[in-house]
């Protein structure tokens, strides 16, 4: 097609695409009038030559309007969302969404499934007996109005252009491009109708970007572009040089979220959740400063109101809210297997992605889109970055069922740790805050 080759040529030569060019490209991706190879060629040209902020804003908005848009204006108050670029043991949504709702935010959240080595909130929620994540648009909006919180899967066809482009990027080595990641994530958030969004951009060995500097650049780009679209965006760049929580796996992560909200567990998962919550309240205009927001969130945590809100949400979505009182009501794996350290020293490095892939091999994630997840399996970390460890001492424990591929998991975990004779400082938890 004439138009397609013209646009590809322009970007190939490093020229700026017009608003009309970008609209034609997104329309071509949505209605199939551009062939996959033309879309792929253009994606590669964008990946190599980049985009100006103006082009990125146009791409984001074109994609956001490529399908249905949710209108949340019937819900009074500030609608706020959060989005993680994907992590391991990264259960912050199940902690921060109820806490923010308990502080008066309206949390209307559409979450995703696990992808590759990263977990997905929908898969975690589905490990709760009876829990439904496929509410209609009307029921979703009513629930947010009534109790201040709903977390569901994408109902309508939000940003369908992204589905096509993301699938092509996945197989053409064009995922890690700033304008492409930015437009992919922001278009879905804008189509989902939120006023304020906090982005949790991961940095480290389990992150989409290869270095901390690149993660910070991605966060800055997303906030800058997002704020040009008329919504309020902010970002935290948080550490993924080790799993965030101790549990990796679906029911296991629900259990840890309940433990945090009950005050039984603290640590990095709790701390990052509170920091994200503080940004959510500030970005939504519900608090003046992060300090004020943190104090309110801590009060709700200590008073058990976050846990109550989670139970309320689970009940409203057909799930068994008693899992918040007794986590043994969640699916449990049949067997536990210790994974011993191969050397003595200090843990100075972890391949977080390998730990995520090991959980996937046990059945906590999908290899193919059609795979079924085993909600009970996964692993529990016994050691953190910086900890001393002895040869033979377990550093994590597998939770397995008969269908788990234990050998594959062991192989992935065999070189997941770096153990050194000298101790090294544990990585910072929050690498940057971008407002
Ligand atoms: N997540 C998305 O939704 N899109 C990207 O491009 C990267 C991560
Ligand atoms: Ca995600």
Please say if the pLDDT value at position 299 is more than 70. Answer: yes
- Would you state the structure tokens that stand for residue 334, as one six-digit string? 């049949």
What's this model's pTM, rounded to 2 decimal places? 0.93
Ligand 1, residue 180: give the atom nearest the CA: 6
The residue annotated as part of the active site, out of 81, 162, 259, 374, is 162
pLDDT category of residue 367 using cuts at 50, 70 and 90: confident
Reading phi first (left if > 0) and then psi (alpha if -120 to 50, else beta), residue 293 is in alpha
Q: Averaged over 157-177, what is the pLDDT? A: 90
> d(Cα 206, Cα 242) in Å, to the nearest integer?
7
Ligand 1, residue 112: give the atom nearest the CA: 3
Is the CB–ligand 1 distance for residue 221 below 6 Å? no
> d(Cα 67, Cα 36) in Å, to the nearest integer?
19
Is the CB–ligand 1 distance for residue 181 below 6 Å? yes
Is the CB–ligand 1 distance for residue 85 below 6 Å? yes
Q: Averaged over 351-358, what is the pLDDT? A: 96
- The dihedral formed by the CA atoms of 415, 417, 369 and 108, expressed in degrees to the nearest 10: -170
184 is catalytic: yes
- The dihedral formed by the CA atoms of 313, 319, 323 and 324, expressed in degrees to the nearest 10: 10
The pairing of strands 394-400 and 378-381 is antiparallel
Please say if the pLDDT value at position 34 is more than 60. Answer: yes
Q: What mean pLDDT is reported for the chain?
A: 95
How far, in Å, is the centroid of ligand 2 from the Cα of 364?
15
Q: How far is CA 358 from CA 341, 348, 352, 375, 379, in A?
A: 16, 20, 10, 15, 8
Domain 2-64: CATH architecture, name and number where available: Up-down Bundle (1.20)
* Domain parsing of the chain, residue ranges: 2-64, 79-324, 332-420
Contact (CB, 8 A) for 401 and 363: yes
The residue annotated as part of the active site, out of 11, 109, 113, 188, is 188
Closest CA to 117 of 151, 90, 88: 88
Q: Averaged over 372-382, what is the pLDDT? A: 97
Contact (CB, 8 A) for 59 and 183: yes
Please say if the pLDDT value at position 189 is more than 80. Answer: yes
The pLDDT assigned to 156 comes to: 61
In this predicted model, what pLDDT tens digit does every residue of 393-419 receive, in sequence order?
999 999 999 999 999 999 999 999 999
The pLDDT assigned to 369 comes to: 74
Q: Rg for the chain (alpha carbons), in Å?
A: 22
How far, in Å, is the centroid of ligand 1 from the Cα of 184?
6
Q: How far is CA 345 from CA 52, 71, 137, in A?
A: 48, 55, 53
| Residue count of the chain | 435
pLDDT category of residue 92 using cuts at 50, 70 and 90: very high
How far, in Å, is the centroid of ligand 1 from the Cα of 176?
9
In this predicted model, what pLDDT tens digit does every residue of 259-289 receive, in sequence order?
999 999 999 999 999 999 999 999 999 999 9
- Would you state the structure tokens that stand for residue 53, as one six-digit string? 């902020």
Is the CB–ligand 1 distance for residue 183 below 6 Å? no
Please say if the pLDDT value at position 56 is more than 80. Answer: yes
Closest CA to 149 of 200, 186, 187, 97: 97
Residue 411, burial from CB neighbour count under 10 angstroms (0-12, 13-18, 19+): middle
Q: How far is CA 138 from CA 70, 134, 150, in A?
A: 10, 11, 12
In this predicted model, what pLDDT tens digit does every residue of 228-256 receive, in sequence order?
999 999 999 999 999 999 999 999 999 99
Please say if the pLDDT value at position 1 is more than 80. Answer: no
320 is catalytic: no
239 φ, ψ (degrees, to nearest 5): -80, 130
Rounded to 5 degrees, what angle do the CA atoms 258, 374, 332 make? 50
Fold of the domain built from segment(s) 79-324? Pyrimidine Nucleoside Phosphorylase; Chain A, domain 2 (3.40.1030)
How far, in Å, is the centroid of ligand 2 from the Cα of 85?
6
415 is catalytic: no
The pLDDT assigned to 116 comes to: 79
83 is catalytic: yes
Which strand ranges, in their side-by-side order, compose the sheet holding 345-350?
388-389, 345-350, 417-420
For the domain covering 332-420, report its CATH number: 3.90.1170.30
Q: Averaged over 184-207, what is the pLDDT? A: 94
Contact (CB, 8 A) for 112 and 121: yes
Please say if the pLDDT value at position 152 is more than 60. Answer: yes
Contact (CB, 8 A) for 376 and 418: no
The pLDDT assigned to 401 comes to: 98
């Amino acid at each position: 097609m004439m138009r397609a080759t013209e646009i590809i040529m322009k970007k190939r030569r490093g020229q700026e695409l017009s608003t009309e060019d970008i609209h034609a490209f997104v329309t071509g991706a949505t209605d199939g009038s551009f062939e996959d190879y033309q879309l792929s060629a253009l994606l590669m040209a964008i990946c190599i030559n980049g985009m100006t902020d103006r082009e990125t804003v146009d791409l984001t908005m074109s994609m956001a309007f490529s399908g249905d848009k949710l209108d949340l204006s019937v819900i009074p108050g500030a609608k706020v969302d959060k989005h993680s670029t994907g992590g391991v043991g990264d259960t912050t949504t199940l902690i921060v969404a109820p806490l923010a709702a308990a502080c008066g935010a309206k949390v209307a959240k559409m979450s995703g499934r696990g992808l590759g080595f990263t977990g997905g909130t929908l898969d975690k929620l589905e490990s709760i007996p009876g829990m439904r994540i496929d509410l209609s648009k009307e029921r979703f909006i009513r629930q947010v109005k009534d109790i201040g919180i709903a977390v569901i899967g994408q109902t309508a066809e939000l940003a369908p252009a992204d589905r096509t482009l993301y699938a092509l990027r996945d197989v053409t080595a064009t995922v890690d491009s700033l304008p492409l990641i930015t437009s992919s994530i922001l278009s879905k958030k804008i189509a989902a109708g939120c006023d304020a969004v906090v982005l949790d951009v991961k940095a480290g060995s389990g992150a989409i970007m290869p270095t901390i500097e690149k993660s910070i650049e991605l966060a800055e780009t997303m906030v800058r572009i997002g704020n040009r679209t008329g919504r309020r965006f902010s970002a935290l760049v948080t550490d993924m040089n080790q799993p965030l929580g101790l549990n990796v796996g679906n029911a296991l992560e629900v259990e840890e979220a309940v433990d945090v909200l009950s005050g039984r567990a603290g640590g990095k998962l709790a701390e990052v959740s509170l920091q994200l919550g503080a940004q959510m309240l500030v970005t939504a205009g519900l608090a003046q400063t992060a300090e004020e927001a943190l104090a309110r969130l801590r009060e709700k945590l200590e008073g058990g109101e976050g846990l109550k809100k989670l139970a309320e949400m689970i009940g409203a979505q057909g799930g068994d809210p008693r899992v918040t009182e007794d986590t043994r009501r969640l699916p449990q794996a049949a067997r536990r297997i210790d994974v011993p350290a191969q050397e003595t020293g200090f843990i100075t490095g972890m391949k977080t992605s390998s730990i995520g892939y090991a959980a996937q091999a046990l059945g906590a994630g999908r290899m193919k889109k059609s795979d079924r997840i085993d909600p009970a399996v996964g692993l529990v970390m016994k050691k953190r970055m910086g900890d001393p460890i002895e040869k033979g001492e377990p550093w994590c424990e597998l939770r397995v069922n008969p269908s788990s591929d234990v050998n594959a998991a062991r192989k992935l975990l065999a070189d997941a740790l770096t153990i050194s004779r000298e101790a090294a400082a544990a990585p910072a938890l929050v690498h940057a805050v971008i407002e």
